[in-house]
Amino acid sequence: MRKTGDTNILTIAFVSTDGSMDKQDIADYVASNIQDPLSRVNGVGDIDAYGSQYSMRIWLDPAKLNSFQMTAKDVTDAIESQNAQIAVGQLGGTPSVDKQALNATINAQSLLQTPEQFRDITLRVNQDGSEVRLGDVATVEMGAEKYDYLSRFNGKPASGLGVKLASGANEMATAELVLNRLDELAQYFPHGLEYKVAYETTSFVKASIEDVVKTLLEAIALVFLVMYLFLQNFRATLIPTIAVPVVLMGTFSVLYAFVTASTP
């Protein structure tokens, strides 16, 4: 668990430029191959996904359920019991031989993957041996997880990620690391898939830093001109002019040391 900011420092759009991928394809690829690697980048606090990936949609028919005297809860209970990840054993479990270095849990491929497998879920076995299956009372299809979510970039179907900064992390350094990691991942993108930076805050930070530096230089120049105007002595004017940046450097050094010591 780690603290994170409330706003995004980067909002990244993933779009299929040639139209070969629809929004579900893009969202599914982003969730499976991009979101997790980016979440492990140093300085990233959290990542929000914008898009609706693939999901198994089950549309129950109330009339058919009623004809079999079944309820929606009967269906959900059957799905939960027959679509579960099952551990079949351990590799290198106890009792083990001396110097056993590996211990791993072995899981069976028990999760259902296709609409056909879901349709074959048994809801009830009748007294005459006949079975009521999910396909008898529902329409099962691969669809979107959410249908009330629309994500587009320049009019094209897209998916997006919002990157939030971890508490105490450097915004500019984190944004650069995220974009560098994206460039590495982009080498393995499907043909036609590209990422675009839709929003970023580092440009405002850079502009603010440049304004501060510009203001400091102007202040030093004004100090020099005013002191020289009144003292009419270059040597005497040079001392307070040099003192200004020295004092600022000392102040910032103390602040940096204080912040570093206070950061957990």
pLDDT tens over the chain, length 264 residues = 555 667 889 999 999 988 888 888 898 899 889 999 999 999 998 998 888 778 899 999 999 999 999 999 999 999 998 888 777 677 766 666 676 666 777 766 668 889 999 999 999 998 888 999 999 999 999 888 877 777 788 888 889 999 999 888 888 899 999 999 999 999 999 998 999 999 888 888 888 888 888 988 888 888 888 888 888 888 888 887 888 788 888 888 887 777 655 444
Q: Which residues are registered as beta bridge partners of 86? A: 108
Domain 4-53+147-200 CATH assignment equals 2.40.240.10: no
DSSP 114: S
Fold (CATH) for 57-144: 3.30.2090
Rounded CA-CA distance 195/163 in Å is: 14
Rounded CA-CA distance 147/149 in Å is: 5
Prediction pTM value: 0.64
Rounded CA-CA distance 119/96 in Å is: 42
How much of the chain is helix, strand and coil, in % rounded to 5?
45, 30, 30
